[in-house]
Structure formats: structure tokens, C-alpha cells
């Protein structure tokens, strides 16, 4: 199987009895398939390859997702293989959530979004850093 043919090794669902999380950019449950190979991606921030960081939250979110895509591609994976995200957002509010949903919708398109935990934090590792995305992906 070529790198482009690597299949996701999980199934996402939103069980009856829980609210529909899709407007907030995530799913409730991810079930791994037998023989899944897990990829753990360290927290990706909004810095570019030169270490520059925009002061605009949306640009940082977009760059953090681009960084995540680069890390996944290094192992032949893509966003389609991600089943779990952890978001750390500095000074989180409804506006940042709306911006995040726009960015994840742009990245994932119509596909179900990964399960996700968003954690508001007072600060991240770098001065000016507003978002960090930690991911777990599964391939077969």
C-alpha cells in the first residue's frame, strides 16, 4: 500500500442521547480498528518554519493546522487519519471558538471532525502564542 493509500483505522460517531457537536467542530466518540498504528503528534503552534508568529488568532490557527498537516504527511498520513485533538487556546472566548470552527471546517471539509478537548489556558510556551494543537492519528 503506498503512502497515499493508507486507510484511517478508526470510526467516528455521535451517539443518540448526546447533543450534536458538529457545529462546534468535533465528534463525541472515536473507535479504533484492530491492528491500528497510532501516530502521536506533539502540540503544533502557529509559528511558521522560520519561527515567526502572527498576532492574529485565525492566522495562528491556520498555521498550526498546516504544521499538523506537515507532521502527518511525514508519516504518510493526513487529516483523514486524525481521530483525537487537544486544543490549548489562550484567553479562549466564543469568538475564538467560532474562528476555530471555521478553520477546522476548512481543513476537514464535510468529513466528521475528530473527537476534541479544548482547554483554555493563560499562556503557552512562546510569547504571543495563542493556540496549540495536539493530535493522535491512526493508520493501518
Residues of the chain with pLDDT under 50: 1-4
Query: What is the distance between the terminal CA atoms of the chain, rounded to a whole angstrom?
Result: 10
Q: Which ranges in 55-124 belong to alpha helices (H)? A: 57-73, 94-108
Could you tell me where the DSSP H helices lie in the chain? 57-73, 94-108
For residue 68, the model assigns a pLDDT of: 98
Q: Are 21 and 97 in contact (CB under 8 A)?
A: no
The pLDDT of residue 3 is 46
Residue 47's CB is within 10 A of a number of other CB atoms, namely 18
Give the integer Cα–Cα distance in Å for 20 and 1: 35
pTM, 2 dp: 0.89
Q: Measured between alpha carbons, how far is 31 from 20 in angstroms, rounded to an integer?
A: 18
Q: In the prediction, which pLDDT does 104 show?
A: 96
Residues pairing with 115 in the sheet: 27, 84
User: What is the chain's length?
Assistant: 140
**Residue linked to cell 498576532:** 55
- Tell me what pLDDT residue 5 has: 61
Amino acid at each position: 500500500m503506498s503512502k497515499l493509500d493508507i486507510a484511517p483505522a478508526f470510526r467516528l460517531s455521535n451517539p443518540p442521547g448526546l447533543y450534536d457537536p458538529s457545529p462546534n467542530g468535533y465528534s463525541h466518540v472515536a473507535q479504533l480498528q484492530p491492528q491500528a498504528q497510532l501516530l502521536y503528534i506533539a502540540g503544533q503552534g502557529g509559528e511558521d518554519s522560520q519561527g515567526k508568529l502572527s498576532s492574529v488568532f485565525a492566522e495562528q490557527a491556520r498555521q498550526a493546522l498546516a504544521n499538523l498537516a506537515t507532521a502527518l504527511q511525514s508519516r504518510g498520513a493526513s487529516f483523514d487519519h486524525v481521530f483525537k485533538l487537544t486544543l490549548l487556546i489562550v484567553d479562549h472566548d466564543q469568538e475564538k471558538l467560532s474562528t476555530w470552527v471555521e478553520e477546522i471546517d476548512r481543513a476537514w471539509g464535510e468529513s466528521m471532525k475528530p473527537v476534541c478537548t479544548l482547554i483554555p489556558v493563560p499562556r503557552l510556551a512562546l510569547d504571543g502564542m495563542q493556540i496549540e494543537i495536539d493530535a493522535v492519528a491512526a493508520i493501518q
